[in-house]
A and B are shown apart, each in its own frame.
Chain A
Amino acid sequence: GEEVAQTPKHLVRGEGQKAKLYCAPIKGHSYVFWYQQVLKNEFKFLISFQNENVFDETGMPKERFSAKCLPNSPCSLEIQATKLEDSAVYFCASSHGGDYGYTFGSGTRLTVV
């Protein structure tokens, strides 16, 4: 498809529960990126994939966050034992790589209560 599909749109979790977010990139895009947007506009890079391989994970809080992009499946971002500060909008984006910009999905709003 020509859009990055993210599910669910909204997710509410109690503190300590697990959260799992999904992203289907645009067909033909080999790069997938996850960003966390907090405090209105601040984008924090989490992780990127080139096809199913981790490309850059320098932004991931590794003790609780994990991500995968498996063949023929949506990519996923999982947060174990959520904390209040994980409340944010999580955006997935995909790209051809190189000098191309990203196309963003509509985001998943995670609220931890």
Chain B
Amino acid sequence: QKEVEQNSGPLSVPEGAIASLNCTYSDRGSQSFFWYRQYSGKSPELIMSIYSNGDKEDGRFTAQLNKASQYVSLLIRDSQPSDSATYLCAVKGSGAGSYQLTFGKGTKLSVIP
């Protein structure tokens, strides 16, 4: 059973602070990792993808991957109230059916003005 674990939160940070979201996964052979943002009542929106160990930066977002520890994180710098949403970690597994994404249950982020 492939699992993706996230702290459900809510995670509250003040406006302008760094929000740190974490995710662990069980399938050691996983190769592709994604962060989605989902506003309440809306569909998930892809914000970051990462495939190699290390950091990947895109604007205020940085994804970090450590395959040895089976750990993925998302940092949001200069957090804004508009960043308040649920952040879903998704992992593409290895082997047959590997195009299927397994999602964590999401971390709810609240950015306090």
Contact = CB atoms under 8 A, between A and B. Distances in A.
Contacts of B103: 35, 42-43
A41 B99 contact: no
Contact of B44 (A31, A40, A95, A104): A104
Contacts, number: 57
Q: Is the interface of A mostly helix, strand, loop or mixed?
A: strand
B94 interface: no
A53 B111 CA distance: 43
Interface stretch (B12-20, B31-39, B53-61, B73-81): B31-39
A40 to B, nearest CB: 8
A90 to B, nearest CB: 11
Nearest to A95: B99
Nearest to B90: A101
B7 interface: no
6 contacts: A40-B86, A55-B99, A97-B99, A99-B92, A102-B101, A107-B43
Given A41-B105, A45-B102, A56-B100, 17 more contacts: A31-B99, A33-B100, A33-B101, A40-B106, A41-B38, A42-B105, A45-B100, A45-B101, A56-B97, A58-B97, A97-B99, A98-B99, A99-B92, A101-B36, A101-B49, A101-B101, A104-B43
